[in-house]
Structure 1
Amino acid sequence: MTATGFSTLVEQARGIAELAGRRAGKAEAARTPDADVIAALVAAGAARHFVPASLGGSGGTFAELKQAAVVIGAECPATAWCAVVAGLMTRAANHLPPAGQRQLWAGGPDVLIAGGVTPRGTATAVAGGWLLSGAWPAVSSSERADWILLVAAVRGEGGPGQRVCLVPRASVLVERTWDDVGMQATGSHTVVAEQVFVPDPMTFPAGLLTETDAPRPGPDGRPVPLPAVNTFLFCLPMLGAAHGALRYWRRLTGAKLRGRADVYDPVVAHLADVFARSSGEIDAAELLLDRVARVVDTAPAVTRSDVARHQRDCALAAELLVRAVDRLMRASGTAGHSTGSVLQRLWRDLHTASSHATLQFGTAAAGYARAELIGAG
């Protein structure tokens, strides 16, 4: 239990995982998160995890979110993705002015926020607020959200710059465009706004999300800039998928090894190599991610150097996880590649998650070198 008396997301993660695993096929076919699974996530505290305690939040940590997301992701990475995105968007919404925060959480902390932080539309200053227009693709959970956070380029007298706007789900349209081979159950469709009025208290400058020199305190009172944690959160469903893939692979492989105890048997030797290498890479990735969680949860300040190292570590962890699960898939035989196999679903979801722009190692490596070599000089 948390200090506020809520049963934690960690405590309920196993039950959510089992439900999400059973509903995964249905959710994939519908190309949207299962309604009962989302309700279970919200009831367990996924939406309130990073809401300020003064507004009923549960005072959650990044390490706790990691623990829950990995458990859920082992059965359904798409559901884990929805959970971490909810946490990320909620933490971003903490940058609203006090009046906006009170409006957003007026009915309680269990408000599911979806979002698109890439500036795709425009925000035009008008009396008392902004007019928001544009189309934002790949907004996960968009059909199930209560509110949606959107970043837009400022146009007219309010510019230059970018503006973050929080709008009720009912104020926008959702075009069902999500057709990726993986993460189908995230429902990452396109959100369309057409001259939607957004009051001033429900907006803030987008620069507050990326500030690394003097970031504002978050709901836990700690200044953790978004670039220090977004890649970390995107890795968590992948780590869960890898754990789940290893578990399911072991079940498939057990039948092959039954009665073959000879260590010199080439089949045994091959499968032993697959198991040892893949499990080791998964462990290595988790150690990298655990360090990120420890820093953002406990360090007195998160520096630019920390941000660069986190992004490097997360991109490297993503590569390790893809390599591990690819190896498991190659050694799974036709049973693992069956369209009804859980293993192939986890593999598809992991590959889609790994394609996220923030998890590409070349970009992360350049940022790390710039911070540590050029900056140090």
Structure 2
Amino acid sequence: MSTSTLTSTPSTAGRVLDVEKAAALAAQHTAEADRTGTLDHAVVDALRDAGFARHFVGARRGGTEGTFAELTRAVRSLGEKCAATAWCASLAAYSARFAAHLPQAGHDVLWGESPDAFIATALMPGGRAKAVDGGWRLEGRWAYVSGIDFADWVLLCAAASGTGDSPELRFFLVPRSACTVDRTWDSIGMRASGSHTVAVAGALVPEHLSFARADLVAGRSASSDVPVHNVPFQAVGGVTFVAPIVGAATGALHAAADGVAGRRRTHAVESALVKASARIEAAGLLVGQNAEVLDERRFTPELMARNERNGAAAAELLQEALGLLIRGAGTGGLGEGNALQRFWRDVTSASSHVALQYDTAARTTYSTVLLGPAD
């Protein structure tokens, strides 16, 4: 079973995310989180209480089976206060959706006592596994595993051998206690996301704590008929990573506007704020459009490609908006105690994620929508 932080919780299927307390605590601790590189325990507890970990867990396990739109709104609200908190909340929710592809026996282990287990995920393959009696022997290293500081479980992707002619990419769920964490995350932004490197040395993973990566990509769960557990990976289109920074950019806009108070309002400053606000609102609309596609289950190739494009476009708009706000704020906006420079660093760091780049996330798929297949 997972760590002692989990407690038995009565079923609250259908409960909406209660983000108000978590957002208030995130705002209170955001400067400290940026300085120390970790979320305060009170903030982590508030995320659990708010329902982020259970948001995509099935109702039969006491989860919420919530919507993408509601999660996106809640993550954006958190991001207005602390981008790293919102990032971790988003990934905690989506990681549970990934884990729903485990066999039912794996669901029993993971959510048998509580639907509120925090899971950290490494989506990119970074290790290897070999089939052994009863399961798999897993070892390797995985970089950029956000939220590892407070995870109960870790979901890792590795090349698995011993079951066929060629290795198969699979996910493996291991308890946090089976991992060693190298504190390699030293980005100038998103400092408290805890996106460190995880190492596993020969852990035995039972068969029921593993599933094929192909099932996740296809949006095909053999163990759950819950609609949210059967969503093609492409359709999510980077919303996991861009929703937190839409919120962060909104927080930056408020911080920049507050900074204008008490000093002369110039034409240049007003123009910067207005231009930035339009870009932030446009990014939010793109992300909302993605969530609508997901909740309405419109998984056509054209709309899934558009979702990928939207994620990259939103990230680009947000970078432009923060550049405008920083230039408009002048030297004062870059002061160590100014929230604006922290939001700027966070958006800059988060928008570098591979899932938010045109060339890796959207160029091939959406150009096919516009131009047809390449010759």
Instruction: Compute the TM-score of the two structures, normalised by the length of structure 2.
Output: 0.92
Q: Note the residue ranges of structure 2 that are not aligned, 5 or more in a row.
A: 1-10
1:156 offset after TM fit, Å? Answer: 3.7
Could you say if the C-alpha distance between residues 331 and 218 of structure 1 is closer, same or farther in structure 2, counting changes exceeding 3 Å? farther
CA distance, structure 1, for counterparts of residue 203 and residue 347 of structure 2? 35
- For residues 39-188 of structure 1, the aligned pairs below 5 Å read 39-158=45-164, 159-188=166-195
Map of 2:318 onto structure 1: 321
Map of 1:263 onto structure 2: none
1:368 equivalenced with 2:360 (yes/no): no
Map of 2:5 onto structure 1: none
1:222 offset after TM fit, Å? Answer: 6.3
Could you say if the C-alpha distance between residues 219 and 351 of structure 1 is closer, same or farther in structure 2, counting changes exceeding 3 Å? farther
Which one is further off, 120-129 or 354-363? 354-363
SS of the residue corresponding to residue 332 of structure 1 reads helix
SS of the residue corresponding to residue 119 of structure 1 reads strand
1:8 offset after TM fit, Å? Answer: 2.8
Could you say if the C-alpha distance between residues 335 and 6 of structure 1 is closer, same or farther in structure 2, counting changes exceeding 3 Å? farther
Percentage of matched positions with identical amino acids = 42
SS of the residue corresponding to residue 261 of structure 2 reads helix
Judge conservation of contact 2:101–2:229 (CA < 8 Å) in 1. no
CA distance, structure 2, for counterparts of residue 5 and residue 48 of structure 1? 9
Judge conservation of contact 2:67–2:295 (CA < 8 Å) in 1. yes
Could you say if the C-alpha distance between residues 219 and 34 of structure 1 is closer, same or farther in structure 2, counting changes exceeding 3 Å? farther
**1:137-187 deviations in whole A, cap 9, x for unaligned?**
110111200000000011344542111000100111111111111100011
Instruction: Compute the TM-score of the two structures, normalised by the length of structure 1.
Output: 0.91
1:69 offset after TM fit, Å? Answer: 0.6
Could you say if the C-alpha distance between residues 221 and 248 of structure 1 is closer, same or farther in structure 2, counting changes exceeding 3 Å? closer
SS of the residue corresponding to residue 19 of structure 2 reads helix
CA distance, structure 2, for counterparts of residue 96 and residue 337 of structure 1? 46
Judge conservation of contact 1:33–1:141 (CA < 8 Å) in 2. no
Map of 1:264 onto structure 2: none
1:355 equivalenced with 2:318 (yes/no): no
Letter paired with 2:328: A
- For residues 283-322 of structure 1, the aligned pairs below 5 Å read 283-299=281-297, 301-322=298-319
1:373 offset after TM fit, Å? Answer: 3.0
Judge conservation of contact 2:55–2:66 (CA < 8 Å) in 1. yes
1:7 offset after TM fit, Å? Answer: 5.2
1:132 offset after TM fit, Å? Answer: 0.6
Count of residues paired in the alignment? 362
Judge conservation of contact 1:242–1:324 (CA < 8 Å) in 2. yes
Q: Which of residues 327, 331, 345 in structure 2 aligns to 1:330?
A: 327
Letter paired with 1:201: H
SS of the residue corresponding to residue 331 of structure 1 reads helix
Letter paired with 2:255: Y
CA distance, structure 2, for counterparts of residue 196 and residue 139 of structure 1? 18
Q: Note the residue ranges of structure 1 that are not aligned, 5 or more in a row.
A: 261-266
- For residues 207-222 of structure 1, the aligned pairs below 5 Å read 207-211=214-218, 219-220=226-227
SS of the residue corresponding to residue 114 of structure 1 reads strand
CA distance, structure 2, for counterparts of residue 83 and residue 172 of structure 1? 21
Could you say if the C-alpha distance between residues 222 and 27 of structure 1 is closer, same or farther in structure 2, counting changes exceeding 3 Å? closer
Judge conservation of contact 1:285–1:320 (CA < 8 Å) in 2. yes
CA distance, structure 2, for counterparts of residue 241 and residue 163 of structure 1? 34
Could you say if the C-alpha distance between residues 81 and 221 of structure 1 is closer, same or farther in structure 2, counting changes exceeding 3 Å? closer
Judge conservation of contact 1:27–1:34 (CA < 8 Å) in 2. yes
Which one is further off, 27-36 or 226-235? 27-36
CA distance, structure 2, for counterparts of residue 151 and residue 31 of structure 1? 25
SS of the residue corresponding to residue 157 of structure 2 reads strand
Map of 2:7 onto structure 1: none
SS of the residue corresponding to residue 117 of structure 2 reads coil
Judge conservation of contact 1:143–1:187 (CA < 8 Å) in 2. yes
Letter paired with 1:117: L
Map of 2:32 onto structure 1: 26
The alignment yields a C-alpha RMSD, in angstroms, of: 2.0
**1:61-94 deviations in whole A, cap 9, x for unaligned?**
1111111111100110000000111111110001
1:8 equivalenced with 2:16 (yes/no): yes
CA distance, structure 2, for counterparts of residue 96 and residue 67 of structure 1? 28
SS of the residue corresponding to residue 102 of structure 2 reads coil
